[in-house]
Structure 1
Amino acid sequence: MGDFNHPDICWRDNTAERKQSRKFLECVDDNFLLQVIEEPTRRGAMLDLILTNKEGLVGDIKLKGSLGCSDHEMVEFRILRAARRALSKLTTLDFSRADFGLFRDLLGRIPWDKALEGRGAQDSWLVFKGHLLQAQE
């Protein structure tokens, strides 16, 4: 939770105008984080964010007005117990049981030249990461 000061980010569309904000969005995405604030917290902008790695972990989010001379809204939220218990049961990948031949075969079926054609490094990474995660399942 905190003031991340990226007023140009549109969290609904996951887009941003400034390069620094786009890099922040990429970092959030690369680390599988969710931003759960849905209302502006300062002068129509969503600057104060709650990032979580588990959907349903944070709930009862309320903006409570500003405190003293602050121009930011106070954010009240709860960390939900049910999600906390679920976190303790997180599964981890067991690489000793992985079928790397199948994994290599699944990724080898993708026409990479076409899939990455005309894309920059960041877009290519997102395409590759999507295929990698899909093959992992």
Structure 2
Amino acid sequence: MLQWGSDQEDQVDETLCRQIGAASHSQALVLMGDFNHPDICWRDNTAGHKQSRRFLECINEHFFLQVVEEPTRRGAMLDLVLTKKQGLEWNVKLKGSLGCSDHEMVEFKILRAVRRAHSKLTVLDFRTADFGLFRDLLGRVLRNKAAEGRGAQGIWLIFKDHLPQPQEQCIPTNRKSGKKIKRPAWKNKKFLDI
């Protein structure tokens, strides 16, 4: 039997923390079990004993969430469900004990939205643009007497303010779906490996 605070128990705690760290690279990971840390207050994120504080630090270091909210054994929350996936509805319920166990059974369902998000990204379709009309409309703005004597900055402001209307008129837009979006040529493997 391990003694409280012994070197052997510290080694077991460190091994567990390393294993949790190694497993934590998966976003879909769910860890569950009786972790035997009755002094952890999950609401306040505090613990009384050294081993419990170390376990709590390990869980926080690897960005785990604990989703059980009710005591699972004699007023203590020993049986935990830990995950890294935020934004899911867990629907955790305690279901009484199984056989002669003094622990509550923890039942949970992981619910997620089924609806896929559709991209609302629109892009200009330059292949079907009417550049002749576009050039004429912008040329009229720049030839206007209001642009005379304004300098480069003044002409730029006029151009910038008048650009959207000819653009809407001459360059159609397309909605992009997530599957058809191509990576720009400059964003190649060499760039992504940096």
After TM superposition, the score normalised by the length of structure 2 is 0.42
Between 1:35-44 and 1:73-82, the stretch displaced more is 73-82
Work out whether 1:70 is the aligned partner of 2:101. Answer: yes
Deviation digits for residues 7-58 of structure 1 (CA, Å, limit 9, x no counterpart): 0000000000100000000000000000010000000000000001012335
Give the superposition deviation at 1:82.
3.4
Paired letter, 2:113: A
Paired letter, 1:69: C
Give the superposition deviation at 1:80.
2.3
- SS of 1:55's equivalent in the other structure is coil
Work out whether 1:30 is the aligned partner of 2:61. Answer: yes
Give the superposition deviation at 1:79.
2.0
Q: Residues 58 and 77 of structure 1 are in contact (CA less than 8 Å); yes or no, is this contact kept in structure 2?
A: no
Deviation digits for residues 86-130 of structure 1 (CA, Å, limit 9, x no counterpart): 9xxxxxxx673xxxxxxxxxxxxxxxxxxxxxxxxxxxxxxxxxx
Work out whether 1:55 is the aligned partner of 2:77. Answer: no
TM superposition outliers: structure 1 runs of 4+ over 6 Å? none
Paired letter, 1:52: T
Gaps of 5+ in 2: 1-31, 118-191
Work out whether 1:2 is the aligned partner of 2:36. Answer: no
- SS of 1:49's equivalent in the other structure is strand
Distance of 1:30 and 1:3 partners within structure 2: 20
Distance of 2:108 and 2:94 partners within structure 1: 9
Work out whether 1:41 is the aligned partner of 2:78. Answer: no
CA, structure 1 residues 70+82, in 2 after alignment: closer, same or farther (shift >3 Å)?
Answer: same
- SS of 1:29's equivalent in the other structure is helix
For the aligned residue pairs, the C-alpha RMSD in angstroms reads 2.1
Instruction: Give the number of equivalent residue pairs.
Output: 88
Work out whether 1:19 is the aligned partner of 2:35. Answer: no
Q: Residues 37 and 52 of structure 2 are in contact (CA less than 8 Å); yes or no, is this contact kept in structure 1?
A: yes
Q: Residues 89 and 112 of structure 2 are in contact (CA less than 8 Å); yes or no, is this contact kept in structure 1?
A: no
